[in-house]
Chains A and B, each alone.
Chain A
Amino acid sequence: MGMTRPRLVCQLAALLVFVLTGAVSAQAPARFGIGRPATPQEIARLDIDVMPDGTGLPPGRGTPAEGAAIYASKCAACHGKTGREGPNDVLVGREPREGFPFAQNPRLAHTIGNYWPYATTVFDYVRRAMPPMAPGSLTDDEVYALTAFLLNANELVANDAVVDRSTLPAVKMPAREHFVPDTRDQTARKPRP
Chain B
Amino acid sequence: MKVSRRDLLAGAAGAVAVGATARGQAPADPSKVRGKPPRATGQRASAEKVQRIVRGATSSGTPHQDLMGIITPSDLHFERHHGGVPDIDPAAYSLLIHGMVDRPTVFTLADLKRFPSVSRIHFLECSGNLGRTAGPKTTPGQLAGLTSTSEWTGVPLATLLTEVGAQASATWLLAEGTDAAVLTRSVPMSKALDDALIAYGQNGEPIRPEQGYPARLFLPGWEGNTSVKWLRRIEVSDKPFMTREETSKYTEPFANGTSRMFSFRMDARSLITYPAYPVTLEHGWVEINGIAWSGAGKIQRVDVSTDGGKTWSAARLQEPVLSLAHTRFRHLWNWTGGEAVIMSRAVDETGYVQPTRAALLEQRGPGTTGYHLNPITGWIVQASGAVIYKEEAWG
Which of A's residues lie within 8 Å of B, judged by CB? 28, 30-32, 34-38, 42-43, 46-49, 51-53, 99-108, 110, 112, 115-118, 120-121, 124-125, 128-129, 132, 135-136, 175, 178-182, 184-192
Binds A, one of B3-11, B239-247, B336-344, B375-383: B239-247
Contact for A187 among B114, B194, B349, CB less than 8 A:
B194
Binds A, one of B99-107, B311-319, B326-334: B99-107
* Distance between B194 CB and nearest chain A CB, rounded to angstroms: 7
B261 with A42: CB separation less than 8 A:
no
Contacts of B103 in A (CB 8 A): 37
- CA of A37 to CA of B260, assembled, Å: 39
Contacts of B322 in A (CB 8 A): 191
| 349-364 of chain B: CB within 8 A of chain A | 349-350, 364
Binds A, one of B26-34, B69-77, B177-185, B273-281: B177-185
> How many residues does chain B have at the interface if contact means C-beta atoms less than 8 Å apart?
75
- Closest B-chain residue to A126, C-beta based? B244
- Closest A-chain residue to B114, C-beta based? A34
* Minimum-distance CB pairs A-B, first 3: A103-B365, A189-B297, A102-B253
B296 with A189: CB separation less than 8 A:
yes
Contacts of A101 in B (CB 8 A): 257, 367
The answer to the question of B345 belonging to the interface, with a C-beta cut-off of 8 Å to chain A, is: no
Which of B's residues lie within 8 Å of A, judged by CB? 82-83, 96-98, 103-108, 111, 114-116, 159, 162-164, 174, 176, 180-184, 188, 190-191, 194-195, 220-222, 232-233, 235, 237, 239, 241-244, 247-248, 251, 253-265, 295-298, 322-324, 349-350, 364-369, 395
A-B contact pairs, 22 of them (CB 8 A): A30-B162, A31-B162, A31-B163, A32-B114, A32-B163, A35-B108, A46-B232, A49-B241, A51-B239, A102-B367, A103-B364, A103-B366, A107-B367, A116-B248, A117-B242, A121-B244, A129-B83, A180-B258, A182-B264, A188-B295, A189-B349, A191-B323
A178 with B297: CB separation less than 8 A:
no
Contact for A179 among B162, B180, B251, B323, CB less than 8 A:
B251
B248 with A182: CB separation less than 8 A:
no
Query: A121-B243, A125-B244 known; A102 and B368 CB under 8 Å?
Result: yes
A190 with B323: CB separation less than 8 A:
yes
- Closest B-chain residue to A33, C-beta based? B163
B116 with A179: CB separation less than 8 A:
no
Contacts of A110 in B (CB 8 A): 248, 369
A184 with B263: CB separation less than 8 A:
yes
- Closest A-chain residue to B361, C-beta based? A103
Among A31, A46, A175, chain B packs the most CB atoms within 10 A around the CB of: A46
* Distance between A171 CB and nearest chain B CB, rounded to angstroms: 13
- CA of A43 to CA of B241, assembled, Å: 17
Contacts of A99 in B (CB 8 A): 257
Contacts of B221 in A (CB 8 A): 188
- Closest A-chain residue to B395, C-beta based? A106
Contact for B323 among A35, A107, A188, CB less than 8 A:
A188
Among A34, A124, A178, A187, chain B packs the most CB atoms within 10 A around the CB of: A34
Contact for B367 among A30, A31, A103, A182, CB less than 8 A:
A103
